[in-house]
């Protein structure tokens, strides 16, 4: 992965103002940091506003509603839970403190702790496999029904399953970017460097069941104070996963491509997302505003419910499978 020297001051434009108004960029699934646990107005009711409660129904009802329509999908952490990646917003999620982009950039101790945890968690995500839900979306795309999908997940399981048109809204866990020179390297390459810099570290924490895995490739570890993060090997700068953190904006170009993908479809299918952050919710608003049917498949309330044409309160994998079979 060569360098992609882009504007050095780049990727993560700090634009706190934006965040202040919308929890927008939190990668819901990203975080030890970040977002998800987003305590971002945690007590806020799932209100996007106005409309009445959505009509609820079954997978069969969703299939009937979507019949003959070309679908754009928006997926969240709930799609990956059956692959063993926990959804922090699920009912059994442990309370955790979100990390912000600002903390990551400004606090060296924080970065050390982050990278130590990520060094362990990354390996877990690296070993996960797509589930029936991911495969159902591939079948729908192959059948010409799904025009493409936007995912809030950074685990690349849609790509692994075989989906071709995928927009990784919040980035991807397998890449790392230098905040100073802008070069992008693979997470795998960084893993080799971190292992060399911290002999014995992985062995000390990776016994099965010893760590808690987070959706953004993070894992909880107590002993991280002696961990040595790796600086950029080209310029000595600070390295950061190429993941959009709480406090960052999704790159504009990526947002525009996602809106275009929503425009390409006749309907929007949301799967496994509580739409807690504006980053995903805006696409539901966009589709609803265009008069397109919005089907939400999620266990539990979502901020998009008031805009949904149909809400399916059922498991994501089985519902998507039923849609693909229909």
Distances (CA, A) of 155 to 76, 150, 188, 246: 11, 13, 14, 17
Closest contact distance (angstroms) between CB of 188 and Zn ion is 18
Between 10 and 128, whose beta carbon lies closer to Zn ion?
A: 10
Closest contact distance (angstroms) between CB of 184 and Zn ion is 10
Residue 10 is a binding residue for Zn ion (CB under 5 A): no
Residue 12 is a binding residue for Zn ion (CB under 5 A): no
The pattern of x and - marking residues 91 through 130 that bind Zn ion according to CB under 5 A reads: ----------------------------------------
Residue 232 is a binding residue for Zn ion (CB under 5 A): yes
Between 137 and 178, whose beta carbon lies closer to Zn ion?
A: 178
The pattern of x and - marking residues 124 through 163 that bind Zn ion according to CB under 5 A reads: ----------------------------------------
Site residue total, Zn ion (CB under 5 A)? 7
For Zn ion, which residue of 162, 234, 254, 301 counts as binding (CB under 5 A)? 234
Angstrom distance (rounded) from CA 23 to CA 275: 10
DSSP 94: P
129 is catalytic: no
Angstrom distance (rounded) from CA 205 to CA 252: 38
Residue of 172, 179, 166, 224 whose CA lies nearest to 29: 172
Angstrom distance (rounded) from CA 306 to CA 69: 22
Residue 180 is a binding residue for Zn ion (CB under 5 A): yes
Distances (CA, A) of 215 to 77, 87, 172, 297: 7, 7, 11, 19
Which residues within the stretch 160-179 sit at the binding site for Zn ion (CB under 5 A)? 178
**Burial (0-12, 13-18, 19+ Cβ within 10 Å), 26:** buried
Binding segment for Zn ion (CB under 5 A), chosen from 29-37, 118-126, 195-203, 226-234, is 226-234
Closest contact distance (angstroms) between CB of 7 and Zn ion is 13
Angle of the 108-126 helix axis to the 187-197 helix axis, nearest 10: 120
Q: Which of 129, 170, 189, 286 is catalytic?
A: 170
Between 5 and 84, whose beta carbon lies closer to Zn ion?
A: 5
Between 5 and 51, whose beta carbon lies closer to Zn ion?
A: 5
Between 181 and 301, whose beta carbon lies closer to Zn ion?
A: 181
Distances (CA, A) of 311 to 65, 89, 135: 11, 18, 22
**Tokens, residue 90:** 């699920």
Residue 235 is a binding residue for Zn ion (CB under 5 A): yes
Angstrom distance (rounded) from CA 248 to CA 99: 11
Closest contact distance (angstroms) between CB of 231 and Zn ion is 8
Residue entry with tokens 């996602």: 258
Residue 233 is a binding residue for Zn ion (CB under 5 A): no
Active-site residues: which are they? 170
Binding residues (CB under 5 A) for Zn ion: these are 178, 180-181, 232, 234-235, 237
């Amino acid at each position: 992965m060569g360098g992609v020297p882009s504007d050095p001051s780049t990727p993560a434009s700090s634009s706190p103002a934006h965040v202040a108004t919308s929890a927008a960029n939190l990668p819901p699934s990203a975080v030890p940091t970040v977002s998800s646990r987003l305590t971002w107005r945690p007590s806020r009711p799932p209100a996007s506003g106005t409309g009445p409660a959505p009509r609820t129904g079954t997978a069969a009802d969703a299939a009937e509603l979507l019949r003959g329509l070309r679908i754009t999908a928006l997926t969240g952490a709930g799609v990956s839970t059956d692959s063993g990646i926990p959804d922090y917003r699920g009912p059994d999620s442990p309370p955790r403190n979100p990390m912000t982009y600002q903390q990551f950039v400004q606090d060296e101790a924080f970065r050390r702790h982050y990278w130590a945890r990520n060094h362990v968690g990354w390996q877990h995500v690296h070993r996960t496999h797509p589930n029936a839900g991911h495969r159902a979306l591939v079948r729908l795309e192959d059948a010409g029904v799904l025009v493409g999908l936007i995912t809030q997940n950074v685990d690349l399981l849609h790509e692994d399953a075989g989906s071709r048109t995928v927009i990784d809204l919040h980035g991807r866990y397998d890449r790392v970017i230098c905040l100073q020179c802008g070069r992008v390297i693979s997470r795998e390459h960084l893993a080799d460097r971190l292992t060399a810099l911290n002999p014995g570290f992985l062995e000390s924490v990776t016994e099965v069941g010893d760590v808690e895995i987070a959706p953004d490739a993070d894992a909880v570890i107590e002993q991280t104070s002696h961990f040595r993060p790796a600086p950029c090997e080209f310029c000595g700068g600070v390295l950061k996963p190429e993941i959009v953190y709480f406090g960052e904006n999704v790159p504009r170009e990526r947002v525009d491509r996602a809106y275009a993908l929503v425009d390409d479809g006749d309907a929007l299918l949301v799967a496994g997302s509580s739409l807690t952050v504006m980053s995903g919710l805006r696409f539901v608003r966009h589709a609803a505003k265009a008069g397109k049917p919005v089907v939400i498949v999620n266990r539990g309330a979502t901020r998009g419910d008031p805009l949904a044409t149909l809400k399916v309160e059922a498991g994501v994998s089985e519902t998507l499978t039923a849609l693909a079979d229909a």
